[in-house]
Amino acid sequence: MLSLVFICEPPLLVFYILDTFIQKTKKSYMDSRSRRNFGQLNNELQDVQRIMVQNIDDVLTRGEALSGTVTA
């Protein structure tokens, strides 16, 4: 089936790769060791939150810098 995907349009290849990643990730979280998996998921969500907060802070800082240059 993989060879058929390479013949198709690139968006289908991207979908196939993403779907494969999602299926593997889903299997890892559906494991019987759910307590550990929820802890792992929580840690990953905290990492994402930290990154997003930093990104928002960076955007606000850039906005302030741009506002300073426009009014000067």
Q: Which ranges constitute the DSSP H helices of the chain?
A: 2-7, 10-29, 34-71
CB 64, CB 58: distance < 8 Å: no
pLDDT at residue 26, as a whole number: 82
pLDDT at residue 49, as a whole number: 96
Contacts of 29 (CB under 8 A, 6+ apart): 37, 40, 41
Positions of the chain with pLDDT under 50: 1-6
pLDDT at residue 45, as a whole number: 93
